[in-house]
Structure 1
Amino acid sequence: MTIAPGARAALAAEKKDLMSAQRVSPAGLGARVLLAAIWFLLAGLCQPAQTRAEAVRVSASADAGLSQTQARQQALDRALVDAVNREARNMLPVPATEARLKALRDHLAPHALDYVQSYHEITAGQQAPAQPDQKSGQQADPQAASSVAQKAPGASFEVELDVTVNRVYLRQTLVRLGLFAGAEHPRVFVLRLGSGVSEKDAKGFDAANTLLGLARTQQNPAGAAPEVTLERLPQGYYKAVLRQTAPSGPKVIAADSSDLATLWFDVWGKYFTEAERQAGPGLQRLAVAGFANVDAVLEFYQLLSSWTDALQDAKLAVVGFGAEGVNAQITCRVTSQQRLDAHLRPVLLERKLTLTGQSGQNGQGQTGTDAP
């Protein structure tokens, strides 16, 4: 979590004053309630937490036959694409087919730099070593070889980078592509073509459908599959309307664009970002006790927020104070319970924390456990 220096200083001063007030009346329930309430307001200013970014180490080489400048740029571009693609695969809550993973890489590649927060070069790009002088049998002069390498194409070039990826932005993209939909993914859809849209236009969605994990079907007897109607309006732009029969009632999503490809991704992006479409058990409230102080709460909160392969949208809901120490409640949308459990167990043991409650939106869940 990133806090501006001025806000950080004010927060530290306020926290110190509150702690001093608590020491004056350690048994005073009113002081503790007031402390918890004020801290909750202060913590609210810091939400949501900035995900702790961990660098991805990648290396890539350029094709032969390029100048040093061209080779360096090509190797760098390839390394960044590899880093973003690797991070995307690690974040997926459910497996995807190889065809879909390849389509994902192709989709991310042209805009890979948009997902990169920063990168650090571990080893400088290197040309292939100079070749021995065939006539004398002696190694060529290094400076002369370097000069030749600057001017002559053909030498190999490789870079090694530590890349920090913007996981929040990348996750939003993956969600809109239906890669977080899990069991709620419809798999198939029905397409209705209106005026101004032809079957040839519909064939242009084939690559996008592979990426979205969708296949077109002609029949929808139960009405469970989404039905998309496409038409070109007299104003010159295209309109899409997605309809689906759901247990909660009929669903209707509309979108419009001057470009059909953009429209196709837009209407499905709106569909896949709906809460009921997400993989995993959904919204949960985790209650954790045993923190030594509020700094320990914030550190744990930031760590938990970095588990993007298991959860989304972590928010610090409540910080309280009791005989056992400081306790906290954190809400998050769990996309993989198995991965969340795997993250939590060692952290709770290492920090001597207790998971006192874990409940979903219905308020049901386990309580009083040392580990999930």
Structure 2
Amino acid sequence: MLKHVSIAVMAVLVFAGTVLAAEVRVFKPMEEGMSQMQLRRQALDEGFAQAVLDEAVKILPGELDETRRELFRQYLLPRAGAYVREYKVIYSQALEAGVILRLNVRVNQSVLRDGLVRMGFMETLAVPLPVTVERPEDLSEEEALALDNLLVLTNAIPQENAGFRFILSRGAENLYRGQLMTPDREWTALDKDMANLWFTLWAHHFNRAEVRSASSDRATLAVSGWFSPDGVLEFQRVVGGWDSVVRDVNLLDMDMESSGVGASWSFRIMDAEGLKRRLDAYLPERGLRYQIVREADK
């Protein structure tokens, strides 16, 4: 774990749909033999990783415990840039002890959301995944720890004769070779990076249509009682920010009757209880009525 790195994050609203930019403050200490360019690059990586992690926490349908949060942050350090839509350095100060950066980071929410699905966070956030793990006997302590951390990050629990089986071996030219077997599928991959290998294999499973549909279901929400279309547009903005409970929100239609304005939306439910709590907190106090119809109930 990197030490003596202090990061403070303050959310700043930037209205581009429902996208938020985060103001991230980073102090990265100077290390022996490090150039100013390397120091600044690592400080940017720290800021990107924190901004992406904070956005992931908002998207996930539950709590990510502190251990998994830190492991995810470490995993993101060299990779978070892939999820950054844009950034701007708004303050920079080079010190003898290190560098201070303050930057605005806007995360690509759709790319991050898809990445979280492919990595299995939506499936394994609260429910452990039993996996039979086979590893080569010549793994170094560092390699063994890296594999153990991947298991913890994915909430995968080693278990004999589990439905999932992961086999790690050594390939040619310093490559890792991995095999992932499920009751009905098998995938193989090669990579120099163990984490890349691990998530490449699991993405094959978690990205399958049947697995995605099992973790969420589509529904239609009908709301009535507004006095004007402005209320509909405001609610569209609000519900569009409920990433942890609904996804793929689409306004289907708007009805303007003498009794008031109504509208309906389609979306995928990620957390049914969480959605109900938010609707009950937002709609009745504004004199609005709602009804949810799941596609599975039609």
Q: Aligned ranges for residues 26-45 of structure 1 at < 5 Å?
A: none
1:266 to 200, 213, 232: 200
Q: Aligned ranges for residues 57-68 of structure 1 at < 5 Å?
A: 57-64=23-30
Greater gyration radius = 1
How big is the shift at 1:287? 0.9
2:155 to 201, 213, 219: 213
Is residue 158 from structure 1 mapped to residue 100 from structure 2 by the alignment?
Answer: yes
1:243 to 164, 182, 186: 182
| Percentage identity across paired residues of the two chains | 26
Is residue 307 from structure 1 mapped to residue 242 from structure 2 by the alignment?
Answer: yes
Is residue 170 from structure 1 mapped to residue 112 from structure 2 by the alignment?
Answer: yes
TM-score by length of 2: 0.72
Matching residue of 2:21: 55
Change (3 A) 1:266 1:121: closer
- Higher relative contact order by CA 8 Å / sep ≥ 6: 1 or 2? 1
What amino acid maps onto 1:308 in structure 2? Answer: D
Matching residue of 1:92: 60
Give aligned pairs, total. Answer: 269
**Offset from partner CA, 1:78-108 (integer Å, 9 cap, x none):** 2222211222223322233433222211221
Look up the SS of the partner of 1:309 in the other structure: coil
How big is the shift at 1:241? 5.5
CA RMSD of aligned residues (A): 3.8
Matching residue of 1:110: 78
1:257 to 184, 189, 193: 189
How big is the shift at 1:186? 4.8
How big is the shift at 1:213? 1.1
1:316 to 231, 251, 259: 251
More strand by share: 2
What amino acid maps onto 1:63 in structure 2? Answer: P
Matching residue of 2:9: none
Q: Aligned ranges for residues 264-303 of structure 1 at < 5 Å?
A: 264-273=198-207, 274-278=211-215, 282-291=217-226, 296-303=231-238
How big is the shift at 1:355? 3.5
What amino acid maps onto 1:114 in structure 2? Answer: A
Change (3 A) 1:205 1:185: same
Is the contact made by 1:228 and 1:241 (CA closer than 8 Å) also made in structure 2? yes
Matching residue of 2:3: none
Matching residue of 2:93: 126
Look up the SS of the partner of 1:110 in the other structure: coil
What amino acid maps onto 1:358 in structure 2? Answer: I
**Offset from partner CA, 1:82-137 (integer Å, 9 cap, x none):** 21122222332223343322221122111111111222444x21345xxxxxxxxx
Gaps of 5+ in 2: 1-15
How big is the shift at 1:358? 1.5
TM-score by length of 1: 0.59
Look up the SS of the partner of 1:95 in the other structure: coil
Look up the SS of the partner of 1:86 in the other structure: helix
Q: Aligned ranges for residues 359-370 of structure 1 at < 5 Å?
A: 359-363=293-297
**Offset from partner CA, 1:222-248 (integer Å, 9 cap, x none):** xxx334578999xxx96845334xxxx
Look up the SS of the partner of 1:218 in the other structure: coil
